[in-house]
Amino acid sequence: MKTIVIALGGNALLQRGEVLSADNQYKNIELMSETINKLAKEYRVVLVHGNGPQVGLLALQNLAYQDVPAYPLDILVAESQGMIGYMMMQKINQNHPEQAITTVMTRVSVDINDEAFNDPSKFIGPIYDEADKDELMAKYQWTFKQDGKHYRRVVPSPTPKKIIDIDAVRLLLDKGHIVICGGGGGIPVNNSNNEFIGSEAVIDKDLTAALISRELNAEHFVILTEADAIYKNWGTPEQAAIREATPEELAPMAVADGAMGPKIMAVSDFVNATGQQAHIGALQNIQQVIEGQSGTLIYKS
């Protein structure tokens, strides 16, 4: 069977502005659960999810209890892998309990000297207005950047170098499991004297998903997000969806902007490295995106 890797954005699982509740996340996960089960009959399915809203929530909860020192981001990413993975397993198995599905706690190696540690760019947590942003900056020394009309906290997002637990993913796929892995971009660790040390960062899940796709020799790589396609002239009266493009055509948009840029970087890396096709589209259109009837198709020229 062919392998398909599907990357689900944290904001696809929790829509922008929604309350960060379990009920809302279950509702959004349910939108894609039946399609995932159908795909599992034709493909070896790997799911990689984002965790931007969720790890930001955990960070806020982490600070609420002052009697214990705050846990570092690598542990919060691990917590989000367990939380979101469990919720996805519950919904996917709801009507198909016979389908084997497993969440793999996934460590991802990063370079401690990555320039990203000096220039935080990864959005996490909820949106804030300017007054709240200023208060949190003063209180916690957080870094913020503008996200649309609002502000969100940003943290370092180093480039993923190696999927440490990829062999476990392969073994489970061989046994017919749907595998949830690389959650939140993976738990960021760096290799110090042959010991893996957690890093204070959140890796971009799309870049990790692309790396997982390459290491598994996947035939298909799909990124699902809140946007229904890649757009040119986004946010202007001339904006228009791009339905098909090559990595070369998309290169000017492949920038580390914390939004669509990393997704374009990820699909371009995959297409250039493998010659296979990739897709970007909306979660609610998952079946049409995979079939090339919606979203943006990226192909090698």
Residue 264, exposed/middle/buried by CB under 10 A (0-12, 13-18, 19+)? buried
Type and span of the H or E element at 221: strand 220-225
**Predicted pLDDT at 258:** 63
| Res. 190: pLDDT tops 90 | yes
What crossing angle do the helices spanning 73-94 and 52-64 adopt, rounded to 10°? Answer: 120
What does the pLDDT look like over 243-260, one tens digit per residue?
999 999 999 998 877 678
- What's the whole-number average pLDDT of the chain? 92
Mean pLDDT computed over 54-75? 90
What is the band of 10 on the pLDDT scale with cuts at 50, 70, 90? Answer: low
- One-letter amino acid for residue 132 of the chain: D
What crossing angle do the helices spanning 73-94 and 22-39 adopt, rounded to 10°? Answer: 60
| Res. 12: pLDDT tops 70 | no
Query: Cα separations (Å) of 197 from 54, 84, 109, 200, 280?
Result: 23, 23, 9, 10, 33
> Which DSSP letter does residue 51 get?
-
**Predicted pLDDT at 256:** 73
Mean pLDDT computed over 160-170? 97
Residue 212, exposed/middle/buried by CB under 10 A (0-12, 13-18, 19+)? buried
| Res. 106: pLDDT tops 80 | yes
Comparing 213 with 149, which gets the higher pLDDT? 213
**Predicted pLDDT at 31:** 83
User: Chain-centre distance of CA 119, in angstroms?
Assistant: 20
Q: Are strands 220-225 and 244-245 parallel, antiparallel or unpaired?
A: unpaired
Active site residues: 10-11, 122, 205, 263
